[in-house]
Amino acid sequence: MPASQEELEDDHFHDQCGVFGVFGSIEASHLTYLGLHALQHRGQESAGIAVVDDGRLTMHRELGLVRDVFSANVLGRLTGDRAIGHVRYSTAGETHVKNAQPLAVDYALGSLAVAHNGNFTNYEELREELEGQGSIFQSTNDSEVLVHLVARAQEPRAVDRVAAALARVRGAFSLLFLTNKELIAVRDPHGFRPLSVGKLKDAWVIASEPTAFDLIAADFVRDVEPGEMIVIDDTGIQSYHPFAQTPRRMCIFEYVYFARPDSELSGLSVYETRKRLGQTLAHECPVDADLVIAVPDSGVPAALGYSQASGVPFEVGLIRSHYVGRTFIEPQSSIRHFGVRLKLNPVRNVLKDKRVIVVDDSIVRGTTSRKIVKMLRDAGAREVHMRISSPPTRWPCFYGIDTPSRAELIASNHSIEEIARYLTCDSLGYLSLEGLHAAIPGRGFCDACFSGDYPVPFGNPTNHRRQLELIL
């Protein structure tokens, strides 16, 4: 019997998408392929690339990892000097190629492709409005409403149509548009999701994280500002600000978990920030122990910070396998916890008879953490103390992050003591909300998953559409 998704996947929030774009290079598709590879952590369900060559738009998208979706033959057919690409993370009930991006259409001004990282919180009402006016949707992807809005706009230029369409949507978005003439990059007024500009010789590049520039030897130029629209064409690059000024609210979880540790977002090193989270956690939640270990890979920087601040030695106590796919054949129903053991295995000589502090970045449902605690005890750990480098996650995200309902978030309806008993650990400590903000200096952040303070209103999250399955 196939293992369940819950059994195989780690118990974390996941960003749904990453985007990458190139303008002005004859190797645009190959560079985009490499850029998407560097952003693979932001989405493992599907990948796609759209290119323009002599006014003709060509696209390839499939379910799977970047390395599996694009062969040398496929990339060889994607010719042109401008391209956009997308990687997508899976959400429940939506694993289908029809939801892969980029989305591409032909409309009055020519061809248009779009790649979206984020979520439109008024998607349902916009879709109902458009369907009432005769629009036909082919996916359950909220990005598709934007395509219809652009096509229905009356402005003479594509950039103005994009601006008019975006004036209708609410929520989080970092977007790339590819037309016959230009590449357009837009970040929502709050700046929920990151987006950066780079330069590679005479070409411009855009990416969800600047670390994607490193792989192709591009230079980081700057972040796209919240509410900014950048237009790149044969004349160069222009900047517009079509939205009203809005308080900045970048997702603080980018620094906790989503972004790669080697990224730099808004001038802050993600790696150093995560170490500071661990250092602050050590001051807030000390405990006598023999060693500190991390839940790899995301917990490593915080665990190092905890060790440095506490003086408790850091050791590698869990080894992670990076070769587990989304499906696996369960050998025997009697083999318990095999899903976690596919990804993690304890180092028994390190753990035996030790009082262990295990650092992770977050707890969502608690199911994986409970299995990790048991794994450590089975390996001989005398005590297991869980330390989490973020506050309790009590609220779901509606801004482009795949999260369970509030009822499924263990911290939403259980005290820390109750969670500790469920995990079967000797103690449990979370970073405080005040400690989180102290460790991440800078302008405003969205911390709604911890505080319940949502910057942008959203519709009824329980309103699920009834739709016949479209098989393409």
Judged on CB neighbours under 10 Å (0-12, 13-18, 19+), 333 is exposed
From the CB of residue 443, how many other CB atoms can be counted at a distance below 10 Å?
11
Phi, psi of 388 (to 5 degrees): -115, 125
- State the DSSP code for 208: S
Q: Is 285 a catalytic residue?
A: no
Residue closest to 82 by CA, chosen among 186, 226, 184: 184
Enumerate the β-bridge partners of residue 88: 17, 46
From the CB of residue 315, how many other CB atoms can be counted at a distance below 10 Å?
18
Total length of the chain: 472
Cα angle: 180, vertex 181, 187; to 5 degrees: 100
Whether 38 and 28 have beta carbons less than 8 Å apart is answered as no
* Options 17, 425, 446, 449, the catalytic residue: 17
**SS3 for 356?**
strand
Residue closest to 33 by CA, chosen among 56, 49, 15, 51: 49
Which residues touch 444 (CB under 8 Å, ≥6 apart)? 247, 248, 249, 250
Q: Is the dihedral of CA 306, 358, 406, 400 positive or negative?
A: positive
Asked if residue 297 has a cis previous peptide bond (ω within 30° of 0), the answer is yes
Write the secondary structure of 315-354 as one string of H (helix), E (strand) and C (coil).
CCCEEECCCCCCCCECCCCCCCCHHHHHHEEECHHHHCCC
Catalytic residues: 17
